[in-house]
């Protein structure tokens, strides 16, 4: 039993490392935009490099994340691209149908 204890501790530490380091990454922070009727919407810690289609009207993107994002005029991250640096925003006239965080 004493021999198994160090092994269990080592494996437990490895599991904790895998959980905390994990493969998923996010653009830490908040992404805010204006939707229908001027209502503000937000996503907290959005995923990196995953195209997100907007379900409704979206305009005036504000990037309060730590990574650059790109908004697109069409769904599936197609059409005209507008990149927004961390801590920056685009005017309320910038309309978009999809967004990707930390684009390549």
pLDDT, tens only, 68-94:
999 999 999 999 999 999 999 999 999
Query: How big is the chain, counted in residues?
Result: 104
Sorted by where each begins, the domain ranges of the chain are 24-101
Rounded to whole angstroms, the Cα distance separating 88 from 84 reads 6
Angle at 76 between CA 75 and CA 80, to 5 degrees: 65
pLDDT digits (tens, 9 = 90+) for 46-67: 999 999 999 999 999 999 999 9
pLDDT in tens, 15-29: 333 333 444 567 799
Closest to 100 (Cα-Cα) out of 34, 40, 35, 31: 31
* Cα–Cα distance for residue pair 56/67, rounded to 1 Å: 24
Q: Tell me, what DSSP letter sits at residue 85?
A: -
Residue recorded with tokens 């990454």: 25
Per CATH, the architecture of 24-101 is what? Answer: Sandwich (2.60)
Read off the pTM: 0.74
Pairing state between β 29-34 and 69-74: unpaired
């Amino acid at each position: 039993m004493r021999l198994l204890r160090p092994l269990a501790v080592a494996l437990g530490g490895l599991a904790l490392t895998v959980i905390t380091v994990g493969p998923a990454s996010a653009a830490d922070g908040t992404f805010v935009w204006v939707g229908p009727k001027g209502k503000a919407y937000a996503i907290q810690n959005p995923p990196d490099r995953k195209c997100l289609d907007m379900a409704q009207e979206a305009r005036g993107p504000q990037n309060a994340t730590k990574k650059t994002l790109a908004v697109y005029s069409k769904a599936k991250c197609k059409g005209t691209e507008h990149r927004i640096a961390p801590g920056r925003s685009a005017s309320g006239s910038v309309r978009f149908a999809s967004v990707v965080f930390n684009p390549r």
